[in-house]
Amino acid sequence: MKRARWTAENGAAEAEAATHTRAGRKPVLPRGRNRIARGAGGHAQTKAREIESAEGKQTFEIQRAQMEAERVRDSDTQNNKTRYEDFNARLAQEAG
């Protein structure tokens, strides 16, 4: 039953394609076009997901690097304050 319907549909599509070809137009096979469109859409969605995943990983790495830089900066600032206070204390001892 399915085979007969498939054969009838394909026969009609082939006849239509032959008519279009004779008229100087490209043959259009609706089933094939639909199948290609579905396949291309799935591929585009897959690529979009891959791109979003890569962007997410890069964003995470950048944020982690920024947090590390802030931590180092805060630590260095605290160390510099301590050294400055020690310097001022030694300077006061030498002057006094």
Q: Nearest-CA neighbor of 15 among 3, 32, 27, 31?
A: 27
Q: pLDDT value at position 76? A: 97
pLDDT of 27 above 70: no
How far lies 65's CA from each of 7, 52, 57, 75, in Å?
A: 62, 20, 12, 15
What digits encode the pLDDT tens for the residues 39-78?
667 788 888 899 999 999 999 999 999 999 999 999 999 9
- Structural domain of 82: 2-95
Domain count, the chain: 1
